[in-house]
Structure 1
Amino acid sequence: MASKHSFKFGLSEFLLIGFVVFSGIMLAFHSGGFVVNFQQVGFTALSSMQKGVSAVASGIGDTFNAVKELARLREENKELTERLKNYEILQRSNTDIKKENERLKEQLGFSLSLQEKNYPAQIISRNPDSLYSAFTINKGSRHGIRKNMPVLAIQGGIVGLVGKVVTVGALTSLVMPIYDSKCSVSARIQNTRDIGLVTGDGSVDSPLNMTYIKKRVLDELQVGDLIVTSGESGNFMGDIPIGSISDIKVLDYDSSLSIKVMPVIDFSRIEMVIVSDLHEMNVK
């Protein structure tokens, strides 16, 4: 039967091992090895922590600065947007003022070309019951306006007949335009000097009608001929432009020509008019 061998530490072996370990430790401390290693480990740990803290602090600082910059940019954008809006409003206002000045200059220039009394006026309302068939001006009897006084206007440097005053109040007056179906104007074809009657059909968009021009003058007429007031009706002075011929038709059942006249004044855009003294006014 084989015998079992066992290894047991005796006191002498244990003391030997302890002495060797103790000697190694003392030698290490004496050489400074453990101190240096502990310092390196501590420095590495501390520096890593400081680096992490610094990175976090730097990130927070950058984020805070970015938020501040974004807020500043938003405020600046808002201010610039408001400035641009104000600039656009100012530009529109300047444009409107320039257009108004141009219109007033036209009216003033025309007024100065008239020898006798005239009264510049502004249209302040139109008849709601019949679109553009009548309109109210801001001048009345206190300003010298009387019933049946002719009303003129100027557009694009062209003087044209608008209508006549039919009702006069203290501060305002009602004007009946020449395209009203109740308005009739004694008119003359400027080239041939033939006289007829110009009437409207009540629509601002429709041409005027000229009647009582004999067929015998057909060959002397052409589209574009100017139609002016004759001055023979007692309501309008002579040679004020009314419009131009836009169409000529021969009717078998009528001895007169059917002539369409396009007004020289665009009534849908008219804003200012001039009321003139019929008895004393002459146009240069």
Structure 2
Amino acid sequence: MSDRRVPFKFRLDIFLLSLYLFVSGLLLAFSSGGFIVNFGNIGFSVLSGAQRGLYSVASFFSGTINAVHELTVMRKSYIELQERIADYELLQRSNAEIRLENEHLKKLLGFSRSLDVVNIPAEITGRDPSNLYSGLIINRGSRHGIRKNMPVVSFQGSGAALVGKIVQVGRSSSIILPVYDYQAFVSARLQSTRYEGLINGQGGVDVPLVMKYIKKRARDEISVGDIVVTSGESYQYPKNVPVGMISRIRGLDYETSLELDIEPIIDFSRLEDVFVLDMSSLKSEIE
């Protein structure tokens, strides 16, 4: 006997009864207060959350823009401050240079007034490029009273010292033959013992001068560091102007005289100002 399947039949009455019971239960649940949905509150919550999100985004972008603006302002202020500091430092340097220049000029003026002879202040403006001698060019010439063979001194450290003599004169400039030149010869003596000799340049700023013809018996009376001054005997240079100091003493048994290495007092590498001396007229006589 074969099984016979009973076909499914839709029962409308049962479906309607079930739907009625479901809707009734749902209405009963909402009306009892146990489960009440307030759609107004839901909408408000959704809108509030959206507003908070928008406010956060707006605040972020606003803060970023403000931060960028503040950074730009700070950078501009920093640059302006740097420029002010640079201007202040430049002003400080300028003031310091002016003070140093004033002090230097006061010293030069005091030195000029202390000299017993008429003197003409001048500045070193260059070096003579010729091969004849190691000339120093100054900004004073014949129209300022400069003449050939006038002695030249300068003020460095605590006093005056010999620079050389005038060998060429132009209208507005002149050339000095410095004591370190090969062609420069100066009659000199030791300041303490008064032994005399002749100083000759060796051609270089960094090379010591040589003083010859010092009597050999002076060996026990002189020492390194002794000052050498002009003797004034040649009448080309004033008397007792410092030239340098002894840096070495040389003498052989078979020689009758000593040779001394003399370190110039003037530092020619930083020489800027000189005084040309007019030996033909004393300042006291003019005044």
Q: Report if aligned partners of 1:140, 1:171 keep a CA contact under 8 Å in 2.
A: yes
Q: What is aligned with 2:53?
A: 52
In 2 relative to 1, CA 203–282 (structure 1 residues): closer, same or farther, beyond 3 Å?
farther
Amino acid in the other structure paired with 2:211: M
How do 1:1-284 residues align onto structure 2 when only pairs under 5 Å count? 8-24=9-25, 26-27=27-28, 36-128=37-129, 133-281=134-282
More deviation, 110-119/93-102: 93-102
Report how far residue 127 of structure 1 moved. 2.4
Tell me whether 152-161 or 272-281 shows the greater mean CA deviation: 272-281
SS at the partner of 1:117?
strand
Q: Judge conservation of contact 1:164–1:176 (CA < 8 Å) in 2.
A: yes
Separation in structure 1 between the aligned mates of residue 186 and residue 216 of structure 2, nearest angstrom: 20
Counterpart amino acid of 1:214?
A: K
Using the TM superposition, name which of 30-39 and 254-263 deviates more: 30-39
Counterpart contact for 2:123–2:274, Cα < 8 Å = yes
Deviation by residue 1:28-69 (Cα, 9 ceiling, x = unmatched): 676789984422332232222212111111110111111112
Q: Assess, with a 3 A threshold, how the Cα gap between structure 1 residues 282 and 152 changes in structure 2: closer, same or farther.
A: farther
Task: Specify the code of the residue in structure 2 equivalent to 1:167.
Answer: Q
Normalised TM-score (structure 2): 0.89
Tell me the SS of whatever aligns to 2:279. Answer: coil
Gaps of 5+ in 2: none
Q: Distance in 1 between matches of 2:32 and 2:282?
A: 129
Q: What is the alpha-carbon distance in structure 2 between the residues aligned to residue 245 and residue 88 of structure 1?
A: 44
* Counterpart Cα distance in 2 of 1:185 and 1:3: 154
Query: Separation in 1 of the partners of 2:137 and 2:220?
Result: 42
Check whether the contact 1:133–1:204 (CA below 8 A) recurs between aligned residues.
no
> Does structure 2 retain, via aligned residues, the 8 Å contact 1:151–1:164?
yes
Specify whether residues 279 and 180 from structure 1 end up closer, same or farther in structure 2 by C-alpha distance, changes over 3 A only. Answer: same
Partner Cα separation in structure 1 for residue 22 and residue 222 of structure 2: 138
Aligned-residue offset at 1:276? 1.0
Q: Secondary structure at the match of 1:98?
A: helix
- Residues of 2 paired with 1:33 and 1:144: CA distance? 125
Displacement after TM superposition at 1:18 (Å): 3.3
Partner SS, residue 234 of structure 2: coil
Amino acid at match of 2:155: I
Kindly provide the amino acid, as one letter, of the partner of residue 56 in structure 1. Answer: V
| Amino acid paired to 1:157 | S
Give the number of aligned pairs: 282
Q: Secondary structure at the match of 2:269?
A: coil
1:271, distance to aligned residue in structure 2 (A):
0.5
Is the contact between residue 117 and residue 279 of structure 2 (CA under 8 Å) also seen in structure 1?
Answer: no
Question: Residue 166 of structure 2 aligns to which amino acid in structure 1?
Answer: V
8 Å contact from structure 2 (residues 128, 175) kept in 1 = no
Q: Is the 8 A contact 2:147 2:169 kept in 1?
A: yes
C-alpha distance after superposition, 1:107-143 (max 9, x if no partner): 111111123311111111112456x921111111111
In the TM superposition, residue 104 of structure 1 has moved relative to its aligned partner by 1.4
Q: Please say which of residues 91-100 and 180-189 is displaced more in the overlay.
A: 91-100
| Structure 1 unaligned spans of 5+ | none
Letter in 2 for 1:45: V
Q: What SS is found at the alignment partner of 1:213?
A: strand
Q: Distance in 2 between matches of 1:270 and 1:224?
A: 22
Could you say what the CA RMSD is over the residues aligned between the two structures, in angstroms?
A: 2.5
Deviation at 1:73, TM superposition (A): 1.8
